[in-house]
Structure 1
Amino acid sequence: MPTAPMSGRRAQAARNDELILKAARDVFVADPGAPIAAVAERAGVGISALYRRYGSKEDMLRKLCADGLEAYNAIAEAAVASDRDPWGTFAEFFRGVVVADTHALTISLAGAFAPTPELYALAMRSDELVNAIVDRAHEAGVLRTDVYATDLGMLFEQLSSVRRGGDARTEELRSRYVALVLSSLRTPPQHEPLPGPAPQPGEFKDRWTKKT
């Protein structure tokens, strides 16, 4: 059945919520200690709009993490249901998670709030799905046997920390290192040329520029 269109007020509330969550992700990934007022300023909405939707900063952080886990699980579920070859499925899952950048939230927000039972349930589902993907790759003999599902989380966090220049350059560099990591995980090894140019010396200097 087609979904009935939302009223003007409900549609505006949905747009505001989308703006707020995107702003919150940007703000708190950059600075987990930022005040909630910084989210309102970035989203271009009044502080009251935030508090009508979220009772506290912790509530907002829980929502961000829940959304991140749901996105991660959706990518994993697609991989589990895929009829591609085991290595193609594994590689597609790995690339999809890096592109979604779900682990930027893990790096920034871990320990910043008390998880709920719902978040624990989402995390348990993540474990089940990723173990299924890894087991399938192991059984097919295409993934190193000394690599475990728990290793992937650490790799995703490392790749999420790659940020240089703007979005386009960050995406280019992450694609390069995803290819390098996948090459090291595959068995038997099948090295291919790495995509994109390596970092240039000047791309490291801007880290030392004082932020104003």
Structure 2
Amino acid sequence: MLPSSPPTLNLTYFNISGRAEPIRLALHIANIPFTDTRLKAGWAETKPKTPYGQVPTLAITFPDTGGGTHTAAQADALLRYVARLADPVHGLYPVEDPLACLKIDELVRACDDVDALISPTMDEPDAEKKRAARRSLIAPDGRLTTFLTKVDRRLQADGYVLGGENPTIAELTWHGMLWWLKSGLLDGVPRDYVDGFERLAKLHERVDGHPKVREWKGRHQE
């Protein structure tokens, strides 16, 4: 039997944007109350208690079922769950339209592919080798540039960014990735690198300018 009252949600992540920020933004845009738990210490003690030794996690409690709390993990899954909880009017994930959901899921997965290209450079201890690896990725024929060019082209296809009043979960996911690429935190990746991809740059600008996103960022500047 489905619960009659909405669940109580506790989202846990580090005190940074990272993988949790699209989830936080989706919850905020949809006006879904949640506890935003930000780990500032004690990760060594918390890690073994998570399903996969990773965050974000989402503790979900249905007060009227007596079934206790279910702790879920994996950022993409959490984001889709939140989008399904949201009133459809918010447009995060149009579950009534399977093709639109497919397009959204495709773009979310494409963002994971970008992360897979960059992540190995995070583990390189030598600073110059790290910069060199990233310069190789962002070269005109580099693997990251080639992939982002394909994504930028894909955004031109009808419906791949729905362009509604609120961003979809795909746009929120890409906004987080593009913020990272533009942040200057990735030594070797210039802040203006994303500007070379017209539609991706516009996507970032559009989401960044959304009133609820501005409101959230105003409260939680890193």
Is the strand fraction higher in 1 or 2? Answer: 2
Per the normalisation by structure 2, the TM-score is 0.33
Is the helix fraction higher in 1 or 2? Answer: 1
Q: Which has the higher contact order (CA 8 A, sep 6+)?
A: 2
Per the normalisation by structure 1, the TM-score is 0.34
Task: State the structure with more CA Rg.
Answer: 1
